[in-house]
Amino acid sequence: MAMVCLSDFEAYAKKYLPKIAWDFFAAGADDCSTRDENILAYKRIRFRPRILRDVSVMDIRTKLLGAEISFPVGIAPTGFHQLAWPDGEKSTARAAKAMNICYIASTYSTCTLEEISTAAPGSLQWFQLYIHRNRAVSQQLVQRAEALGFQGLVLTADLPYTGKRRDDVRNGFRLPPHMKLKNLEGAFEVCKMSPSFHSLLDPSVTWNDIYWLRSLTHLPIIIKGILTKEDAELAVRHGVQGIIVSNHGGRQLDGGPATIDALVEVVEAVQGRVEVYLDGGIRKGSDVLKALALGAKCVFIGRPALWGLAYKGEEGLQDVLRILQDEFRLSMALAGCASVSEIGRHLVEFSKL
Ligand code: FNR
């Protein structure tokens, strides 16, 4: 099967993954309106392409908190990569390194942070944290990640409780017995996804906990899950270094905005004081271009990375990234931009559709 675009990988994953794994990856909350809106919203944005602008030499590199990446796409944190491929997050880390992009490893990885960092030494890796009721668990994870050389700490802030994902409830989703949440082993007796699993997370977390995190680590803190100008302002005031506009791929509160729509007010509120990134619904190179035009410094992909892994592990994920990279470069050229610095708000408009 010729893999030409990201939806080819989606079709492959749907066909070949066990149903329970596919359903877990695909799930959105409730009737999935926000999950689907993340994708649909891109169709309402139109380019205002410029012509005759010498696009013979293209520069698609950019920087993420000072670190150079080969193009403005990274891998969003998602749990349980071994559900997609036996080597799990080690394959993800290797693919990200090969493509010279940033990989955000999830607290819920099925490989240890040590395995992830050793699989891709010297690459750009951030660690994603959920704050647990037992703060010592989170503290230990943060300090472990910093000691291992992870270069950023991503605090996911939109999951005080887990959204209601109907298919997971119907399937009674649990991790297969041979897979473990390896970073939490020893911290407490949780090796399976169970109904009580997420109740280990602390729903009482507030903005003050950013100061607590700050006291634990020198790493830059990036907050994930912001959708409003009010929270963007609070994030800046609490001293974070970056914001990821995200609705958790539509898996949390159903009925919220598409992330590409929320991006506009967040960027306006932040006024360049910190870097703003986005995830959710990125499926084409032109989506990346639209997000950058609206002010994102970089975007991250969640499900498409899992489809790539399901296709052929590290190689399959590289295929996904290469396709996205090629499509992004082509879209830029066709819109009249030869370098990322030429991308700006002038490049897009919202259609009335
Ligand atoms: C996620 N997401 C997520 N986020 C996070 O901070 N920690 C996590 O462990 C997970 N786990 C997870 C598992 C699966 C299967 C999915 C689909 C998503 C959310 C993720 O980081 C990201 O916000 C979305 O996946 C982005 O949307 P797309 O690219 O999947 O449309």
pLDDT tens figures, 212-264: 999 999 999 999 999 999 999 999 999 999 999 999 999 999 999 999 999 99
CA of 280 to the centre of ligand 1 (A): 8
Decide if 193 is inside a domain. yes
- Answer whether 35 contacts ligand 1 (Cβ < 6 A): no
- For the chain, the domain total comes to 1
Residue 296 identity: A
Q: Whose CA is nearest to atom 10 of ligand 1?
A: 78
Q: What is the domain range of residue 310?
A: 6-350
Distance 55 CA to ligand 1 centre (A): 35
Answer yes or no: is 310 within a domain. Answer: yes
**246 CB within 6 A, ligand 1:** yes
Ligand 1: residue whose CA is nearest its atom 12: 78
Mean pLDDT value across the chain = 96
CATH code for the domain of 139: 3.20.20.70
Q: Per-residue pLDDT tens for 53-102?
A: 999 999 999 999 999 999 999 999 999 999 999 999 999 999 999 999 99
pLDDT confidence of residue 192: 45
Ligand 1 closest atom vs CA 250: 27
- Whether 88 is in the pocket of ligand 1, judged by its Cβ within 6 Å, is no
pLDDT tens column, 215-228: 999 999 999 999 99
Give residue-wise pLDDT tens across range 107-117. Answer: 999 999 999 99
Its sign, for the CA torsion 44, 45, 48, 52, is negative
pLDDT tier at 328, thresholds 50, 70, 90: very high
Residue 233 in any domain: the answer is yes
- The reply to whether 1 falls in a domain is no
Q: Is position 332 within any domain?
A: yes
pLDDT band of residue 198 (cuts 50, 70, 90) is low
**330/277 Cα distance (integer angstroms):** 21
11 lies in some domain: yes
- Contact criterion met (CB below 8 Å) for 201 and 133: yes
